[in-house]
């Protein structure tokens, strides 16, 4: 069965520090994609970053990077130099290659403190 687990329901981090949001996944598919989304209090879901299961390098997008450890089935999101605007709910998600659907984790609420 496909499953995404985010074990941190909430995190408080000081502004300008780096943040790591944990995500582990479970799948029997050999090929899949991993995603992270940000949901601010206004509600919209913002796509942040993508990692393919066969990608050799960790994905990076600006201040976001994905720490992909395939053997451990983990796909942690790292936010460097956190900003107040990073305060939001963050969802990890996975899609098997054979499917058009995405499975979402329950999310981690990140609070950046000034």
Partner 1 sequence: SQTIHQWPATLVQPVGSPLSLECTVEGTSNPNLYWYRQAAGRGLQLLFYSVGIGQISSEVPQNLSASRPQDRQFILSSKKLLLSDSGFYLCAWSPGVSGNQPQHFGDGTRLSIL
Residues that bind partner 1 (CB under 8 A): 31-33, 35, 37, 42-47, 50, 52, 91, 95-102, 104-107
Q: Among residues 86 and 105, whose Cβ is nearest to partner 1? A: 105
Enumerate the H helices of 12-96 as residue ranges.
none
Mapped onto helix, strand or coil, the DSSP state of residue 4 is strand
CB of 35 to partner 1, least distance (A): 5
- What contacts 57, CB < 8 A, 6 or more positions away? none
Q: Among residues 14 and 97, whose Cβ is nearest to partner 1? A: 97
Enumerate the H helices of 1-114 as residue ranges.
none
Q: Among residues 54 and 83, whose Cβ is nearest to partner 1? A: 54
CB of 70 to partner 1, least distance (A): 15
CA 30/CA 4 separation, integer angstroms: 16
Q: Among residues 106 and 111, whose Cβ is nearest to partner 1? A: 106
CB of 73 to partner 1, least distance (A): 17
Backbone φ/ψ region at 22: left (φ over 0), alpha (ψ -120 to 50), beta: beta
């Amino acid at each position: 069965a496909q499953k995404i687990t985010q074990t941190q329901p909430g995190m408080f981090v000081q502004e300008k520090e780096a943040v790591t949001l944990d995500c582990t996944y479970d799948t029997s598919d050999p090929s899949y994609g991993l995603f992270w989304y940000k949901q601010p209090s206004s509600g919209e879901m913002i796509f942040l970053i993508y990692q393919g299961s066969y990608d050799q390098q960790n994905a990076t997008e600006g201040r976001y990077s994905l720490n992909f450890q395939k053997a451990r089935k983990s796909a942690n999101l790292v936010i460097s130099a956190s900003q107040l605007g990073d305060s939001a709910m963050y969802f990890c998600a996975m899609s098997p290659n054979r499917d058009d659907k995405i499975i979402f984790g329950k999310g981690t609420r990140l609070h950046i403190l000034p």
